[in-house]
Amino acid sequence: MNKPALIGPLMLDVGGLELTAEDREVLAHPLVGGVILFTRNYRDAGQLKALCDELLALKTPRLLLAVDHEGGRIQRFRVGFSRLPAMRSIGERLLESAPAAEAEAEQVGETIGRELSAFGIDLPFAPVLDIDHGVSGVIGDRAFGSDAQTVIHLSRAFRRGLKRAGLASTGKHYPGHGAVTADSHHELPVDRRSMAEIARCELPPFAALIADGLESIMTAHVRYTAVDDRPASLSAHWVKDILRKRLGFQGVVFTDDLSMGGAAAVGSMEDRARLALAAGSDMLLVCNDRPASVTLLDALRDVRPRLTASVRLQALYRRQELS
């Protein structure tokens, strides 16, 4: 039996509409296993297809391609793509007609999957499994609703549609970002609730979709002081003990972007990366800071891609590619 190819644990970004010589050199590094795309990487369909084709042909094993493409205000590609509603609007429709809301969530998932897969993109970082507690501006209408059952019901439908289009899902932001006011893009939010309260309010959507076979999860740069002094994204207790052992999650663990303020609060980029790897993360996002990415590749020269993580990551490749 052939040994599975090793996939690097870093997901980086590129700056423009086409690859530069520096992009090619950086992405060819063995620690780089994926690329996340942004609005700046999109002009039109032909340009995006050419960019994705080049990214996919750059190395073996190939790069995993991902994008934040949830709907509403978090939709990186718009012109030429279907206009997608905010998830809250689907949750509100649930009050009027559960079948109609479920059908809409499923259709949105399928639309995202169909449109992204046409360009070779493997993964939208969606659905959002956070509960909207009415205090988080960064979550807000990105959440399906303010109660766990609404989020579970509609995220399951969303995932069915995405899966039917051949793409995997990423539940975020584990273990829940919706009860803190601070924006982890700029600072480290602190949630002081007890573990019992977090488990009761925030974890049910993650537990439900894990039981369904959820393929990947993105961790939050939020510190839950009653549980661990480190943010969940850098915490072995949150990843290994609770997510892996207690909830039984077998899929891929992504960190949110380690360049964000919520991660920067704990130390240098190297510190963050090493903590995330030690915590059990499979792939680390480092975005919008090419100098930090280049420095990190050198700083982690003693790190090697992990076989178990590589096997999990390969399972996120588009299904059409494997058939």
Specify if 305 maps to a domain: yes
Q: Which helix (H) or strand (E) holds 69?
A: strand 69-71
Q: Which helix (H) or strand (E) holds 45?
A: helix 45-56
Q: Is the pLDDT of residue 299 over 60?
A: yes
What total number of domains does the chain contain?
Answer: 1
Specify if 60 maps to a domain: yes
Mean pLDDT of 247-258: 97
Please confirm, yes or no, whether 133 is among the known catalytic residues.
Answer: no
Please confirm, yes or no, whether 185 is among the known catalytic residues.
Answer: yes
pLDDT attached to residue 320: 53
Nearest in space to 84 (alpha carbons), one of 142, 140, 29: 142
**118-177 per-position pLDDT tens digit:** 999 999 999 999 999 999 989 999 999 999 999 999 999 999 999 999 999 999 999 999
In the three-class reduction of DSSP (H, G, I as helix; E, B as strand; rest coil), residue 67 is classed as strand
Q: How confident is the model at residue 272 (pLDDT cuts 50, 70, 90)?
A: very high
Specify if 2 maps to a domain: no
Is the pLDDT higher at 322 or at 81?
81
Q: Among 23, 256, 257, 282, which one carries the catalytic annotation?
A: 256
Q: Is the pLDDT of residue 321 over 60?
A: no
**How many helices (H) and strands (E) in the chain?**
13, 12
Domain with 70, as residue range(s), is 10-322
Domain at 67, CATH number: 3.20.20.300
Specify if 1 maps to a domain: no
Q: Is the pLDDT of residue 35 over 80?
A: yes
Specify if 112 maps to a domain: yes
Q: Among 44, 185, 186, 229, which one carries the catalytic annotation?
A: 185
What percent of the chain has pLDDT above 90?
91
Specify if 4 maps to a domain: no
Mean pLDDT of 282-286: 98
Specify if 212 maps to a domain: yes
